[in-house]
Amino acid sequence: MDLQQHSYRAVKFLIFLIAFGVLVVAENPCASGPPVDTNPAECCPTPMLIEGSIMMDCYQKYGEQTKKQLKLDGVPRGCCIAECAMNATNMYADGMLKRDDVSKMFMDAMKDKPEWMAVVRDATNACFELAESKKEEIEAGAKLEPSFEGEKICHPISGVVLRCMGMMMFGQCPSTVFNESENCKKLREYGSMCPMI
C-alpha cells in the first residue's frame, strides 16, 4: 500500500472517530465496557509507545481515579495516567505536548517493528489534529473542579493523544498481526468508539 493510500485510510478512520464522538454523547456505548472479555493484546499485540515501566508506575498511581472518572458525565476529564507518562518522558509542559519530540519518541519505539511504522506515523498526525479540533473541550476539562475526594485534575491533552493513538493503532492493526477471531472483531468495533486505556 502506498503512502497516499495509507494516509487516506488514517484520515478516513479519524473522521469515523469524530463522527462517532457525536453519537457517543447521546448514548454512551462505552459505559458498560467491552462486549467481550477478551484482552485486546490477544487480538492485536500493539507495541508500547512509552516504556512499559513508566506506564505501569503511572497506572499504579492513578488507575483507580481514572476508573472513577470514566463513569462521570459532562466534560471529559484529563487522564492523569497519560499526563504522568508524558511528564516522565519530558514531553508535557503547561498544557502542551512537544509534538515533534512526541512523534520522534513514538517512531523510535517502532524502530524494530517496520509493520507498525506507517500506522504510528499516520496516527500521530491524526491524533494531534484531533486534539487541535477539540481544543475548547480540552481547555474546559483542564479547568474542572474535583468531583470526589482526592481527585487530581490533570490537563486532558496527554490523554486525548494517547487514547487516540491506542484506538487508531488497534483499529488499524496490520493484518499480519491481527487475530481474526469473532471476539477480536467485536473488540475492534468497540475499540473504534471507546478508549481501552
Helix (H) or strand (E) holding 128: helix 114-133
Residues in the chain: 197
Report CA Rg, the chain.
16
pTM higher than 0.75: yes
Classify 92 as helix, strand or coil: strand
pLDDT for 25 equals: 41
Query: Is residue 119 within 8 Å of 44, Cβ to Cβ?
Result: no
CATH for the 40-144+151-193 domain, from 3.40.50.2300, 1.10.238.270, 1.10.1200.10, 3.40.50.150? 1.10.238.270
Residues with Cβ < 8 Å from 83, sequence gap 6 or more?
92, 154, 155, 158, 159
pLDDT at 123 over 50: yes
pLDDT for 195 equals: 61
pLDDT at 118 over 80: yes
Q: Residue 114's beta-bridge partner residues?
A: none
Q: Measure the CA–CA gap between 180 and 189, rounded to whole angstroms.
A: 12
